[in-house]
Structure 1
Amino acid sequence: MDNLEQAQGLDSTHFDVAIVGGGMVGAAAALGLAKQGKRGVMFETHHPKAFAPEQAIDLRVSALSMASVSLLRELGGWQYIEAMRLCPYRELHTWEQPDNKLRFSAEQLGLPELGFMLENRVVQLGLWQACEQAGVTVAVGDAPQLVANNVLENKDEQVELRWQQQSITAELLVVADGGESKMREALGIGISAWDYRQRCFAINIQLDAEQQDITWQQFTPSGPRALLPLAEQHAALIWYDSAATTKRLQALSDAQLKQAIIDNFPPLPGDFTIIARAAFPLRRRHALSYHKGRAVVIGDAAHTINPLAGQGVNLGYRDVATLLTILAAQDSLRDPSAALKAFQAKRMPDNLLMQGAMDAFYLGFSNDIAPLKMLRGLGLKAAQNSGKLKDWALRYALGMPRSN
């Protein structure tokens, strides 16, 4: 990248916007702000590994909804992403008992697909390519440090950061450095937080069946089992279970793990080969405020969610879309306080609602209590037959406007 700066320092030391975190959400925010004519610098600790078609598919994947894809298309990043690899998914099934499935489909809403399964790195790489074309300066190296308290003032002063022995100033600070955000902590923004009992064990497999386009999830008392279709006849199996069970699974050979999958998952479409595996903790985080003075917190830095429905990055893109809409109406960033308050008022209720819904699913299905099991079955059957209410729920999950 011509405008990528590393340890030698930045050619310019003042920007309209400084974005801390160049992942999927931070890079989208940087790109959108550049499209509005705002000079931005994006800080990231590592450059994402370059893409090559022969590489194994990464374990870190996301399900992008059509609303997120539409945003990335509008920003000009999607063309770079789809030039690499992706997998459309057209149906979503969830169940506890096989004879009582809740099914959502793209056809239900007249769409070609519900969304796409992509590697996080592919999305990030595509957005970085678009950022380069848009003139965003990307600073790779140690994370910047917050220097001056004037970031906390709603005045004509500027944000001041220290990076590679340079003083960097900006009118606005966008914090997108993940769930364990150091910049959020430096700003003094508190969080509510807890870790879920379960861990996520991700297993990438290659199927000998045709390309899949259905993602599904079965609930069990010890945690859900899910399949995410991936490109090139691959799939990600997601196994939620206790830390002890996950540790035991990690120690198995490929042959032993394959048998454990056969014993514990619904039947897979044909034979399969294990490609890679990894375990991740499940954490819930929510910032007590999304802004402080000239700083705004977005994406995982503001909220992390149980990944049951794959809504994490999509909520981050809703943050980006809202922030861009609000800032587009600003003549300048001399006093962003009203805009940032409006952003919080718009996004916090939506994020809390989705967090609460995922927690309700998590708590409601993580048991084998007979009366609750019966109620869950009745609830899934009612949802499957709910008509327009089912359409509304799907539209909300996809970030689409309600139909009349």
Structure 2
Amino acid sequence: MTPNNNSIDQDHRCDVIIVGGGMVGLATALRLARSGIKVAMLEASLPKETMHHNSFDSRTLVVNPASRQFWQDLGIWQSISQSAAVIDQVHVSNQGHFGTVLFDKNEFSVEALGHVVEAQVLGGVLWQQVKKTTGVHLIAPAELTAFEVSDEHVTVQFKHQQLSQKLQARLLIAADGAQSSIRQQLNLPTHTKAYEKTAIICNLKTEQPHRNRAYERLTRTGPFALLPFGDRMGLVWSNTHEQAGRLLAMDEGRFINAAQAAFGQRLGRFMQIGQRHSYPLHQVRVERQYANRVVLMGNAAHAVSPVSAQGLNLAVRGVRRLTQLLTEAHAHGGDLGAEKLLAEYQVASLPDQQQVLNYTDDLMTWFKIDEPVIAGLRSLGLLAIDSSPTLKKRLYELAGGLNY
């Protein structure tokens, strides 16, 4: 592609370099550029730029209220919302045991508990916006080969169109995913917890309409989630590696029967499933998420299980915090890569990160135990939550990203 050169001076310098053109990197670039900060972005591949997709097998994401406000402030929510599905209710149940919780938007006097959007549409809208934004030098495909840090700047080396090139900036933002090569090169202490589970993800149609209700079913193998979208629902089902392998090998009819047995008949019969995908579940915690003139963002800094639909929402709150700090520093002529600024970002972000990491870890550990006493405690817990407006509001605020 032809890069936008408006953010690079003749000495190949800018204010901030972002490695990784996923949703986190794109959102960060867009927010910074609109504050007058000159950004260069390196992305390893050319993504699809579809802004209106709607395939039966589309991968979906949950946008919670805090993230919706961020996308609205960024000026792209209108483009995203055209194909988004509203979540009016969330039903939580415990397979084989008593106790349910129903979260309803009317209890909290809100327009919606959340929205479900196509990942490809959100990514496409962000990509299109970044491409036409003055102040972003977008280079793709580009391969990061090395980076060097000095007291005053960071120099990045990369390959683009088979040529080796260099860029220099005050700050390097690593938005290059859970296996971040930048994090590995910095040797930042990282703790990875494998849950010995695999998530099966697909879309399915049900006999009865979903009526904009999402479901979280606590099963013997782990959480079983259904998200409403259009005329179908998105399934995220946690299983042992062995059981997941068997489920993936099943024909459509046998898989539908197995999923039906795990979920029950609340939506009638499962009628059709789409392509099944899977990946192992793990959690990534990074103790120190910055080094000299380098900061980690998104999955490079923290990765959580998808069953809670919290990963991107947590990352969006991090983008909001970091870009706000950088915008204020830029307005006052400050150093965008100063250690004090990066430390302030991490201190502000850690309580939010720890809360979500602990919450999602509980889902993957506490709820997977099928001992009778534990199952009974889960059911009592659900009954207690359903009968307590205060507890329900706290959980809604946590899931909605409204605590931070």
The Cα shift of 1:132 comes to: 2.3
Identify which range, 203-212 or 25-34, moves more after superposition.
203-212
- Cα distance per residue 1:295-348 (max 9 Å; x no partner): 111111100112232111110001001112211220235352211100000112
Counterparts of 1:234 and 1:249 in 2: how far apart (Å)? 20
8 Å CA contact 2:207–2:268 kept in 1: the answer is yes
Change (3 A) 1:47 1:207: farther
Number of aligned positions between the proteins: 393
SS at match of 1:224: strand
Counterpart for residue 324 of structure 2:
325
- Cα distance per residue 1:143-184 (max 9 Å; x no partner): 31333132xxxx323343333301111111111111111121
Counterpart for residue 246 of structure 1:
244
2:261 aligned with 1:259: no
The Cα shift of 1:218 comes to: 1.0
Counterpart for residue 148 of structure 1:
148
SS at match of 2:219: coil
2:76 aligned with 1:92: no
8 Å CA contact 2:282–2:304 kept in 1: the answer is yes
Change (3 A) 1:63 1:192: same
8 Å CA contact 1:4–1:140 kept in 2: the answer is no
Output the amino acid matched with 2:158.
Answer: R
- Cα distance per residue 1:264-317 (max 9 Å; x no partner): 322253452112111111111111211101111111110011223211111000
- Cα distance per residue 1:209-242 (max 9 Å; x no partner): 4354111111122222221111x30211222111
Counterparts of 2:319 and 2:290 in 1: how far apart (Å)? 14
Q: Structure 1 unaligned runs (5+)? A: none
Question: How does the TM-score come out when normalised to structure 1?
Answer: 0.90
Q: Structure 2 unaligned runs (5+)? A: none
Counterpart for residue 389 of structure 1:
391
Change (3 A) 1:117 1:10: farther
SS at match of 1:70: helix
2:303 aligned with 1:304: yes
Question: How does the TM-score come out when normalised to structure 2?
Answer: 0.90
2:158 aligned with 1:162: yes
Output the amino acid matched with 1:349.
Answer: P
Change (3 A) 1:3 1:162: closer
Counterparts of 1:10 and 1:239 in 2: how far apart (Å)? 49
- Cα distance per residue 1:232-263 (max 9 Å; x no partner): 30211222111111111111122222222223
Counterpart for residue 35 of structure 1:
34
- Cα distance per residue 1:40-63 (max 9 Å; x no partner): 111212222232756524453221
Let me know the Cα RMSD of the aligned residues. 2.3
Counterparts of 2:377 and 2:205 in 1: how far apart (Å)? 37
Counterpart for residue 196 of structure 1:
195
Change (3 A) 1:4 1:119: farther
Change (3 A) 1:229 1:10: farther
8 Å CA contact 2:153–2:171 kept in 1: the answer is no
Counterpart for residue 68 of structure 1:
67
8 Å CA contact 1:225–1:239 kept in 2: the answer is yes
Identity of aligned residues (%): 27
8 Å CA contact 2:203–2:275 kept in 1: the answer is yes
SS at match of 2:222: coil
Change (3 A) 1:268 1:393: closer
The Cα shift of 1:92 comes to: 1.2
